[in-house]
Chain A
Amino acid sequence: MTDTVLSDQSIPGQSQGLFRVRQITDNVEARPVPSIATEPKLNPPASRAYFFGLMAPAIALLACISLYPFCWLIYMSLHDVEIGSAVWNNFENFTKLASDSRYLNGWWLLIQYSVMCLALQIGIGVFLAVALNGARFEKILVTTLLMPMMMAPIVAGLVWYFLYNGTFGWYHWLLQSVGILGPKSILASTGTALIGIVIVDVWQWTPLITLITLAGLKRVPQDQLEANMVDGASQVRNFFAITLPNLYPVLVIAVMLRFMDNFRFIDSVLALTGGGPGNATKILPVYLFEVSFKFFKLGRGAAIALTLLVVTIILGMILVRVFDRQQTRKA
């Protein structure tokens, strides 16, 4: 910023050198500035302190209940933890995992479970959203669909446990009447138990996918759809050529969120099967729960928890990256 009132300026369009016009500039910035004034700083130290002060309690509390336990988790995973004592055991907790068939099986089941849940939820959820979009009574219908999500997962699990029951369960009766299932409950045989818990998860969380997809559908540019239609595309073609690509980012978020929730929540599995029959539904978090809080082998549990945590954090990193990309695209 200049501090002169008058300045030499060449008028654009006129050749330099022939005329030099002395021009009085009229803009405010060019007026003399009192010498005491300095550039205003956006975050003077005082206000930074103020903001950090506001932030401090939450960060401190969070550090106490998440960072400290995390360090403790690492410590535990390296020790043989009994009630009240911990003995260093040379990474044994970890080395044992490699030969623990139930641990490896837990991962495999978790992947199977998540993939099945997601495939069904995305398939049904997206179709439902497309069917509902712009339909009559859309609002009421969507609100009705929300109901399962508000239910505590443990209660949902118990209700479905009732429905699956081999002697008085309605759902079991339905499956039997249709001829899909024999007299044995879906949860009672190793071959079908996993499908049983997948159905409950699909029942409870498909509406979330529908909601997310509906939000995405509202943002599909109408003019593109119309332009494509003018070019002679059918509605079906339109859906695959324009709607679906536009939905893609929203769906990625939905998939990641559900994937992580499958890692996080095991309430309904605990209510339905508790990991059984045999180990047929012992997905990794259930196995972890059993090791830590049934047998109280907290050191081993910590090692399992750590591996689970690392995978979740990696998934989280990917998710946050997707979030950011979404945000920048909007801006």
Chain B
Amino acid sequence: MASREVVHYETPITKALRWFSVAFIIVYLIWTLLPILVMFASSFKDLLEAFKIPAVGDWAGIGVFFEFTPTLKHYNDLFANLNFSSYILNSLVAAGGSAVISVVLGSMAAYSLSRISFKGKNDLFFWIISTRMAPAVAVMVPLYSIFRSLDLVGTLPGLILAYTTFNLPFAIWILKGFFDNVPYAIEEAQMVDGATRPQALMAILPLVAPGIGAFIVLCILFAWNDFLFAAIIGSGGAKTLPVATRELVQPQNIQWGSIMAAGVVTTVPMMLLGLVIRKYLVTGLTMGAVKE
């Protein structure tokens, strides 16, 4: 970092720009938070109140948004009548299962890929990453017909496997970057002291543990938020939260209150998890290409 004493001269242009950026940030914040706010508020509103909006052009009428008596009936409905607790369980098992499988197998593979070189390693790598980047719908066409012949459609193991198609390559790719940052010298020192290779690996695990934990969370997030795989592969026996939420939209009767409540139930855990792994988020979402 160079010296901080460089004088910034305020010209009218920079001043205007500064004010403009502050205004821009405020407007952007409102626009980014408003849908989330509407979702939360509507989930606590009676339907009649949720549908109340002012007349066109009546700016003073915005206040009606805040005029409501909070009710928990939509949440009650979700769990009492719509069986959402079992969908939550399905989501948890599918997302958690695939995340654990992916990260455990993925870190083993990433570790060894980071430690040895062999012919065709780059090709192997490209194959791994391209698996991750393939469009979900395109992957699903053959996967669906294979899974159907194996009777895996509509089961949780099938869904876990389906999620692993995108989580495993992600885990390998991103964890390799992590292991690359751990010097081989540490293991060498361990082995000189008489440790076997597995023991040496155990010795460096604490160094990568936070990252591994964060990427388990990220894998859970990807799987939890998925709709396509769950809708096709999980249809029937393994309905997850996003699919169940979508099913509340029926041609004649869109149950908006329940949809909003289900949206909150689906979203809030992931927002919290996102905060927990905030530090790794950029690395994770850019496949390790950008580090904060």
Are chains A and B native binding partners rather than an unrelated pairing?
yes
Q: Which residues of A contact B (CB under 8 A)?
A: 43, 47-48, 50-52, 54-55, 57-59, 61-62, 65-70, 72-73, 76, 81, 124, 127-128, 130-132, 135, 141, 143-156, 158-163, 167-170, 173, 176-177, 203, 207-208, 211-212, 214-216, 218, 222-223, 226, 229, 234-236, 250, 253-254, 257, 260, 263-267, 270-271, 285, 288-289, 292-293, 298, 301-302, 305-306, 308-309, 312-313, 315-317, 319-320, 322-323, 326
Distance between Cα atoms of A236 and B266 in the complex (Å): 43
- Which residue from A50, A203, A322 sits with its C-beta under 8 Å from B35? A203
CB pair A293–B232 under 8 Å, yes or no, is: yes
B121-168 interface with A by 8 A CB criterion: 124, 126-131, 133-146, 161-162, 164-165, 168
CB pair B13–A234 under 8 Å, yes or no, is: yes
CB pair A62–B131 under 8 Å, yes or no, is: yes
Task: Tell me, yes or no, whether B289 is within 8 Å of chain A by CB.
Answer: yes
* Nearest CB of chain A from residue B17's CB, rounded to whole Å: 7
Closest residue to B51 on the A side, CB-wise? A168
Which A-B residue pairs are the 4 nearest by beta carbons? A131-B21, A58-B109, A305-B138, A51-B112
CB pair B271–A150 under 8 Å, yes or no, is: yes
Main secondary structure of the interface of B (DSSP, over half): helix
- Which residue from A69, A141, A153, A168 sits with its C-beta under 8 Å from B139? A69
Q: How many residues of B contact A (CB 8 A)?
A: 108
* Nearest CB of chain B from residue A113's CB, rounded to whole Å: 14
Distance between Cα atoms of A19 and B71 in the complex (Å): 102
- Which residue from A149, A154, A257 sits with its C-beta under 8 Å from B242? A154
* Nearest CB of chain B from residue A120's CB, rounded to whole Å: 12
Query: Knowing A131-B25, A150-B270, A226-B6 touch, does A159 contact B242 (C-beta < 8 A)?
Result: no
CB pair B59–A203 under 8 Å, yes or no, is: no
Distance between Cα atoms of A57 and B112 in the complex (Å): 12
**Which chain B positions have C-beta within 8 A of A65?**
143, 161-162, 164-165, 168
**Which chain A positions have C-beta within 8 A of B287?**
257, 323
Cross-chain pair count, CB within 8 angstroms: 299
- Which residue from B32, B111, B164, B225 sits with its C-beta under 8 Å from A152? B225
CB pair B138–A54 under 8 Å, yes or no, is: no
Query: Knowing A152-B225, A152-B227, A309-B138 touch, does A215 contact B56 (C-beta < 8 A)?
Result: no
CB pair A163–B282 under 8 Å, yes or no, is: no
* Nearest CB of chain A from residue B184's CB, rounded to whole Å: 9
Task: Tell me, yes or no, whether B96 is within 8 Å of chain A by CB.
Answer: no
CB pair B135–A309 under 8 Å, yes or no, is: yes
